């Protein structure tokens, strides 16, 4: 959604890598691979800041419970805004308790119980330092969040903005269900912080492409996972609704963004080590490439994998043929999840977008409509995935603004 307001050079430099990467992100899962049978998953380096640790009474806490909170330094890119970080209890992909982190941008001029927007942006990384809670505070132009101009639009409207580290403590790139759960628990945590006065705030969620996956999963999970949340609207665009179909449609030819494909396999392995033992089946070259990106952010991942392919790190075993791998892909595909959003949904995409399985979007929305959901879907006949993000952004902002004002949501089911 917010990319429409970014300066063109930033938009081109950042989002072109991001959206191309999402398409190839699951390609490595169809690669034939074999290698040492004792290789274990590789995790990101531990963050030296204890705030990011998995401490606290996780087992005795409920999802969304605040484990710790702190005020952060003011950020020049967000004037007249107070910054908080909250560590909260959430749920991992396979049901265990985890601690997650969200950064909250609170405008000084906001109404009592004013709107709360949870914005899930795209994170293409395997290192903890690449998460929003870290990149907001860096001067490195390769790591800074480029969405500041768009987020300022929300802040000037008096909306508090939550930016969850939705890849979780293990930087599980590709784990969409995890992103949905962390998103919902991050909203809960923000509303449970008495300092912020958000307990009665209406809530909206937004995201495009990879951020749209976390957003869409959160919307579908909310009725069962967080039914108490007053989610008044959701805006999700260009969503890859089915990872399995994406994987089936991809080959193993060399690709400039292959590093992110490997990163997705590594990220999913971190969440599903038993069902998707990628490291056990990588050859020596694959293990070396895995280790090179295991704690990396977008640019280093892209540079490491540029021009390489799954066949270089593989031999004969097809991971996608195993029941465990198929389950992992399905577990992280919105199309396969039976839940239906109860919050009004605005969805937008291009009918000719070759980067995502458009038929999966149509199938998912048709199922929602048959179940009685309020859905407004808009097609933008644009030439590519990125242009669609820009064209749909104003409509998405207006849609959420109307929901916050209490206007009835339109539907074109």
For 147-164, write each residue's pLDDT tens digit. Answer: 777 788 899 999 999 999
Residue 359 and residue 345: Cα distance in Å, rounded?
Answer: 18
Report pLDDT digits (tens) over 205-217. 999 988 999 999 9
The encoded tokens of residue 300 equal: 């280093």
| End-to-end Cα distance, the chain | 22
Residue 49 pLDDT greater than 80, yes or no:
yes
Measured torsion, CA atoms of residues 69, 73, 76, 81, in degrees rounded to the nearest 10:
40
205 beta partners: 118, 234
pLDDT tens profile 5-47: 333 333 444 344 443 443 333 444 444 444 444 478 899 998 8
Tell me the residue ranges of DSSP E strands in 26-155.
Answer: 66-72, 81-91, 97-107, 116-119
- Residue 27, CA distances (Å) to 34, 39, 122, 288, 319 in order: 16, 21, 18, 19, 11
**Interatomic CA distance for residues 121 and 165, integer angstroms:** 9
CATH class of the 2-243+330-404 domain in this structure = alpha beta
The larger pLDDT score, comparing residue 245 to residue 347, is at 347
CA proximity to 66, closest of 44, 89, 39, 35: 89
Distance CA 169, CA 296 (A): 14
Domain coordinates of the chain in residue numbers? Answer: 2-243+330-404
Walk across the sheet containing 160-164 and list its strands. Answer: 66-72, 81-91, 97-107, 160-164, 116-119, 203-208, 231-237, 345-349, 375-379
**For residue 325, is pLDDT > 70?**
yes
Predicted pLDDT of residue 389: 86
Task: Please determine, for residue 119, whether its predicted confidence score (pLDDT) is greater than 90.
Answer: yes
pLDDT tens digits, one per residue of 356-404:
889 999 999 999 999 999 999 999 988 888 889 888 888 998 999 999 9
Mean pLDDT along residues 257-279: 89
pTM attached to this predicted model: 0.90
Of the candidates 15, 21, 77, the one whose C-alpha atom is nearest the C-alpha of residue 306 is 21
Dihedral-angle region of residue 398 (phi above 0 means left; psi in -120 to 50 means alpha; beta otherwise): alpha
């Amino acid at each position: 959604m917010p990319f429409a307001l970014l300066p063109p050079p930033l938009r081109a430099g950042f989002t072109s890598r991001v959206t191309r990467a999402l398409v190839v992100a699951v390609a490595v899962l169809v690669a034939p691979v074999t290698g040492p049978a004792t290789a274990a998953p590789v995790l990101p380096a531990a963050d030296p800041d204890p705030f990011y640790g998995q401490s606290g009474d996780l087992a005795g806490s409920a999802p969304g419970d605040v484990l710790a909170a702190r005020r952060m330094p003011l950020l020049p890119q967000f004037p007249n805004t107070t910054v908080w970080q909250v560590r909260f209890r959430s749920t991992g992909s396979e049901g265990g308790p985890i601690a997650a982190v969200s950064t909250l941008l609170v405008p000084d001029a906001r109404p009592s119980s004013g709107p709360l927007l949870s914005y899930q942006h795209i994170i293409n990384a395997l290192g903890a330092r690449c998460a929003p809670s870290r990149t907001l505070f860096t001067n490195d132009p390769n790591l800074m969040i480029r969405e500041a101009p768009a987020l300022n639009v929300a802040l000037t409207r008096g909306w508090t903005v939550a930016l969850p580290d939705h890849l979780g403590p293990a930087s599980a790139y590709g784990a969409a269900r995890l992103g949905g759960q962390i998103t919902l628990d991050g909203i809960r945590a923000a509303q449970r912080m008495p300092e912020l006065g958000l307990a009665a705030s209406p809530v909206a969620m937004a995201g495009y492409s990879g951020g749209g996956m976390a957003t869409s999963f959160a919307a579908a999970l909310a009725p069962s996972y967080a039914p108490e949340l007053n989610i008044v609207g959701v805006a999700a665009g260009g969503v890859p609704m089915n990872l399995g179909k994406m994987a089936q449609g991809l080959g193993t030819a060399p690709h400039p963004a292959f590093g992110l494909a490997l990163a997705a396999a590594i990220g999913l392995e971190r969440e599903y080590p038993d069902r998707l033992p990628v490291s056990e089946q990588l050859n020596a070259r694959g293990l070396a490439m895995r280790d090179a990106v295991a704690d990396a952010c977008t640019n280093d991942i892209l540079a490491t994998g540029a021009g390489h392919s799954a066949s270089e790190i593989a031999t004969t075993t097809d991971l996608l043929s195993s029941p465990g791998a198929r389950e992992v892909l399905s577990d992280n595909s919105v199309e396969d999840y039976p839940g239906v959003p109860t919050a009004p949904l605005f969805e937008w995409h291009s009918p000719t977008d070759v980067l995502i399985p458009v038929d999966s979007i149509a199938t998912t929305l048709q199922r929602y409509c048959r179940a009685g959901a309020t859905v407004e879907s808009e097609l933008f006949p644009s030439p590519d995935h990125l242009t669609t993000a820009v064209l749909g952004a104003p409509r998405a902002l207006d849609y959420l603004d109307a929901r916050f004002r209490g206007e009835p949501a339109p539907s074109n089911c």
